[in-house]
Chains A and B, each alone.
Chain A
Amino acid sequence: MIKHEKPKSFYDTFERKGAGQQVSHYCPGCGHGTVHKLIAEALVDFDVADRTVFMSPVGCSVFAYYYFDVGNFQCAHGRAPAVATGVRRTLKDALVISYQGDGDLAGIGTAEIIHAANRGENMTVFFINNAIYGMTGGQMAPTTLVGQKTTTTPTGRSEQNDGGPLGMAEVMQAIKAPVYIERVSLGTPQGVLKTRRAVRKGLQYQIEKRGFSFIEILSPCPINWKMDPQTSRKWLTDKLEPVFPVQSFRDEGTGEAPPAFREKRMLKGKDLLKLLQGDTAITEVTESTLEETQYVKIAGFGGQGILSAGMFLAKGGIAEGLHATWLPSYGPEMRGGKAYASVILSKQLIGSPVVDLPNVLIAMNLPSLIAFEDDVQEGGIILVNSSIIDRKVSRSDLRAVHIPASDIAKEGGLIAASNMVMITAYLAVTGTLKVDTIKKLLPQSVRRKEHVDKNLKIVDASIAYLKQQGVI
Chain B
Amino acid sequence: MGKRLMKGNEAVVHGALMGGATHFFGYPITPASEIAHGAAQYFPVSGRCFLQAESEVAAVNMLYGAAGSGARVMTASSGPGFALMSEGLSYLAGARLPSVLVDVQRAGPGLGNIWPEQSDYNMVVKGGGHGNYKNIVLAPYSAQEMCDFTRRAFSLADTYRMTVCILSDAYIGQMMEPVELSGDMAEGKRKDWAVYGDVKSRSNLITSIYMDPQLLEKHNHQLQSLYAQVEEECVAYEPYQLDDADVVFAAYGITARICMSAVDKLRNQGVRAGLLRPQTLFPFPKEPIARAADRGAVIIAVELSNGMMADDVELAAKGQSRVLRYGWLGGVIPTVDEIVERTVRDLERGGVQ
Contacts and interface: CB of A to CB of B under 8 A. Distances in A.
A and B are interacting partners: yes
Contacts of A93: 197
B186 to A, nearest CB: 10
B85 to A, nearest CB: 11
A65 interface: yes
A264 B30 CA distance: 30
Size bracket of the A interface = 35 or more
A407 interface: no
Contacts of A69: 202-203
A352 B197 contact: no
Contacts of A318: 3, 5, 178
Main secondary structure, interface of B, reads mixed
A95 B3 contact: no
B47 to A, nearest CB: 3
A411 to B, nearest CB: 30
B187 interface: yes
A90 B21 CA distance: 12
Interface residues of B, number: 79
A352 B46 contact: no
Interface string A81-110: 011111111110111000000000000000
Contact of A86 (B66, B199, B204, B257): B66
B205 A79 contact: no
Most chain B CB atoms below 10 A, which of A263, A277, A328: A277
Most chain B CB atoms below 10 A, which of A51, A62, A83, A84: A83
A165 to B, nearest CB: 24
Given A51-B198, A277-B181, A74 B209 contact: yes
B205 A90 contact: no
A272 B175 CA distance: 24
Interface in A70-85: 70-76, 79, 82-85
Contacts of B48: 266
Interface stretch (A184-192, A319-327, A364-372, A419-427): A319-327
Nearest to A331: B114
A263 B47 contact: yes
Given A82-B61, A115-B54, A276-B181, A330 B209 contact: no
8 contacts: A69-B202, A73-B207, A86-B69, A86-B73, A89-B49, A91-B197, A325-B177, A351-B262
Interface of B: 1-5, 14, 17-18, 22-23, 25, 30-31, 42, 44-49, 51, 53-55, 57-59, 61-71, 73, 87-88, 91, 95, 114, 171, 174-178, 181, 184-185, 187, 195-199, 201-209, 254, 257-262, 264, 333, 335-336
Interface of A: 16, 49-53, 56, 62, 65, 69-76, 79, 82-91, 93-95, 111-112, 114-115, 263-269, 272-273, 275-278, 280-283, 311, 314-315, 318, 323-328, 330-332, 349-354, 356-357
Given A87-B197, A88-B65, A351-B264, 7 more contacts: A74-B208, A86-B23, A115-B54, A314-B177, A324-B5, A352-B257, A353-B257
